[in-house]
Amino acid sequence: STDASEVKIRIYDITGSLVTEIDGATVGEGSSIWNKYNDVEWGGTNGRGNVVLNGIYPFEITAKLGDRIVSGRGKIAVLK
């Protein structure tokens, strides 16, 4: 019901090493289903701009909501 003031997305390799960190911008929820969620694109590169290898990459999203921090984890597949 409220927009996050700060969003960070951290993508790791399978060994747990940080691949890249992305700052996510938040936009208020729209009235249609197509505007309901925020999308953040990742070009499949690491922090130095090099393309990563095919594989599974765990990620963590943290969002600051006022004085609370909410986080979630998942996995993303890179296939070229």
**Residues 9-22: tens digit of each pLDDT:** 999 999 999 999 99
How many CB atoms lie under 10 A from the CB of residue 66?
8
Cα torsion 31, 76, 62, 21: sign: negative
**Residues 46-62: tens digit of each pLDDT:** 999 999 999 999 999 99
Model-level pTM?
A: 0.80
Cα–Cα distance for residue pair 18/66, rounded to 1 Å: 26
